[in-house]
Chain A
Amino acid sequence: MRPDIVRVLQPIVIIAVSLVVVWLLLGGTQQFMNFLTLGAIYALIALGYTMVYGIIELINFAHGDLFMFGAFVAMWILTVPLGMTGAVDNPLQLTVILVVVMLPTMIVMGLLGTFIERFAYRPLRHAPRLAPLITAIGVSFILQNVIYSVFGPSPVNVPQVFPLTRFEFLGGRVSFLSLFMVAIAVFLMVLLQLFVGRTRLGRAMRSTAQDREAAELMGVDINQTIAITFFIAAALAGAGGTIQGLYFGSVQFNLGFFVGLKAFTAAVLGGIGNTTGAALGGFVIAFIEVFATQLGYSRWSEVAVFTVLILVLVFRPSGILGQQLGERA
């Protein structure tokens, strides 16, 4: 009984303590909420990088652009079919709107992800590893240019459906929007952990990541498993995109590049192939960025992020959480 309690409590205590430390370092609630929202976005995207890498050892450079694409899909749903222009005050109505935006965005992105896998990556599964990598860069360009040609080069506004009500919390003002977004992101991440850890298809994913051939010979349908992985990865990117659009208020066709690069850094930092590590990495990167801004070096925040990437690659290439999901037997 006792070790069980310790096992459950230990991570909770660690998370709580580090959150308090981060809160203190960031000098209060305002920046802390920025950190949480940014961290949630990075974590959602980093999960996609890490899952795809874990299962087919491909660094999916198109993943950042899937995130961008998702942001545009969410923006489009808000603007065109829903016809939103301003804030919605009725909380019930707001919730319905969020569901109607986020769920279809995730489904559409998931389908797009599987579609890309089916036609761009699957034919190259037995090709040298450089080939799918280049293909991924190509897919990234395609996605960017599709959005470019439809929505043009300039930033597009996302209707701000959240009322700007804030409430005081520990000496800072917190908007419902950011709380809500963080809650959704954490919910999705928990859902993913449960899916990967406790279900038949999650087991199939992990076994495929560890030894594809053996998994196949045990009856796992590899193609289906990889397709599901891409679906989930892209759907999470879609969720991240929705949050990004609602939080920052505008989206642009080249949005995916930098965010994608940072999320990739997060995935490497956490230990690529490791889902918990990716989520952790996302928040670490967000912390570095917000902290740099807090210290008054906002223009150096990206330098800081990529310095961390280099340091990790040099000193601990396997990432914070070391052991990889895709470790070979």
Chain B
Amino acid sequence: MSAATADPGNGTILRAHRVTKAFGGLVAVKEVDLEIPPTSIVSLIGPNGAGKTTFFNVIAGILDPTSGHVEFRGDRMIARPIRTWFEPVVWVTPSVVAGVISVLVYLATANADATALAVLAAIGLLIVMFLAAIVRPRWYLRLLATAGVFRSSRPNDMVKAGMGRTFQNIRLFANMTALENVQVGMHTKMRANAADALLSTPRARAEEKASQARAREFLGIVGLRGRAGELAKNLPYGDQRRLELARALASEPTLLLLDEPTAGMNPRETAQMTQLIDRLRRDLGISILLIEHDMKVVMGISDRIYVLDHGELISQGSPDAVRADPRVIEAYLGKPAS
């Protein structure tokens, strides 16, 4: 839960500091620095196999860097929860303590009733802790965080912290409608729990209704207003891409990570998508990290471009500067035959 709320003073949304990621002997990403200012579009480009996706996964909190670190809104992220074995220990401990106390009570008073009560209390505590872990994982995690055993950038925590993303290969929930897909994106913004759902409380019904209206808004933003009721799998390819974008927007992210949003699109669709991304930044005031291997897509809309090749940052700067950089030209076109 390290990816918490407060922005750092200078307002940087995300900062990667000398991030290196190695798989065994293969160094996929080597000492890369990257910074994403608020309401900006930053692009990460590079030829295929340059380490873009690995770096992306480190930033998204899915992989831990081998060295270096990533700060999201001022907090360091750690993908693997530390010492998971400790988790059961934490919720067993109170009952063990209560059990020990009950034995002491027995030794002190030799009163069977008092002891039975204490034993019951121990069992009760165990059940309460167990229920807390299931019913209110957030409280439970907070407890673990207080005990200093648990910090994570588990994907769902990252979403809560304000990071939304799309996928390189479309990963919609194919058998759900477009509207439902967007509603899943709003999951962390909704509060209805199991009891609300079973009792169909007014609060839950109102929330459900509001979420549908809101989901329609998001569909409108990406230009899918009329297709809310269609199953995701029945939408044409370009619309599926837009739907993915709407779903990511639904979590109301501060930072949106887009993994090759125009992959497989024809030139017209690509142009539309590029415009859409530009509009999102302006209208919603979010920051966007764009991963692309196609330079043309990012040139028009990026504030800043980072170029990766063979895992190393070979160039960075404004689109014009990057376009003119001989190393970038070399990486993309090969060495000129001199």
Determine the residue in chain A with the shortest Cβ distance to B200: A194
Interface residues of A in 191-219 (CB under 8 A from B): 191, 195, 198-204, 206-207, 210-211, 213-219
Specify the main secondary structure of chain B where it touches its partner. helix
Does residue A272 face the partner (Cβ distance < 8 Å to B)? Answer: no
Whether B194 and A218, one on each chain, are in contact in the complex, defined by CB atoms closer than 8 angstroms, is: no
Q: Check B137 against A218 for contact (C-beta < 8 Å).
A: no
- In the bound complex, do residue B159 and residue A219 qualify as a contact, i.e. CB atoms below 8 Å apart? yes
B197 close to A (CB within 8 Å): yes
- In the bound assembly, the distance between CA atoms of A115 and B184 in angstroms comes to 26
Q: Does A95 contact B (CB under 8 A)?
A: no
Is the C-beta of B188 less than 8 angstroms from some C-beta in chain A?
A: yes
Q: Please judge, given known A-B contacts A115-B130, A195-B198, whether A219 and B173 are in contact too, CB under 8 Å.
A: no
Report the tally of A-B residue pairs with Cβ distances under 8 A.
Answer: 106
Please tell me which stretch of B38-46, B94-102, B163-171, B293-301 contacts chain A, meaning at least 4 of its Cβ atoms lie within 8 angstroms of it. Answer: B163-171
Q: CB-CB < 8 A to B190: which residues of A?
A: 200
- State in angstroms the CA–CA spacing of A207 and B180 once bound together: 9
A327 and B174 alpha carbons, distance in the complex (Å) = 8
Question: Are the C-beta atoms of B137 and A219 separated by less than 8 Å?
Answer: no
Q: Let me know if A101 is at the binding interface, CB within 8 A.
A: no
The answer to the question of A79 belonging to the interface, with a C-beta cut-off of 8 Å to chain B, is no
A198 partner residues in chain B, CB cutoff 8 A: 208
A199 and B185 contact, CB distance less than 8 A:
no
Interface residues in A110-159 (C-beta closer than 8 Å to B): 111, 114-115, 118
A203-B184, A211-B171, A329-B173 known; A217+B208 contact, CB < 8 A = no
| CB neighbors of A among B100-135 (8 A) | 130-131, 133-134
One of A20-28, A84-92, A177-185, A220-228 contacting the partner: A220-228
**Chain A residues positioned under 8 Å from B194 (CB to CB):** 201, 228, 231
The answer to whether A219 and B134 touch across the interface, beta carbons within 8 angstroms, is no
Distance in Å from the Cβ of B245 to the closest Cβ of chain A? 12
Within 8 A of A (CB), among B78-108: none
* A202 CA to B251 CA, complexed, in Å: 18
Given A210-B174, A222-B156: A201 and B192 within 8 A (CB)? yes
Nearest-neighbour CB distance to chain A for B237, whole angstroms, equals: 13
A198 to B176, CA, bound (A): 12
Docked pose: A51 CA to B122 CA in angstroms: 34
Chain A positions within 8 Å of B193 at CB level: 201
The reply to whether A329 and B172 contact each other, CB–CB distance below 8 Å, is: yes
| Inter-chain contact A206/B176, CB cutoff 8 Å | yes
Contact of B156 among A199, A206, A221, A227 (CB under 8 A): A221
Give complex CA distance A202, B211 in Å.
Answer: 14
- List A155-193 residues whose CB lies under 8 Å from chain B: 191
A199-B192 contact given A204-B187, A219-B159, CB 8 Å threshold = yes
- Which 6 A-B residue pairings sit nearest by Cβ, starting from the closest? A219-B159, A219-B188, A199-B197, A329-B174, A214-B171, A216-B155
**6 CB < 8 A contacts A-B:** A111-B131, A195-B197, A200-B204, A200-B208, A201-B193, A215-B173
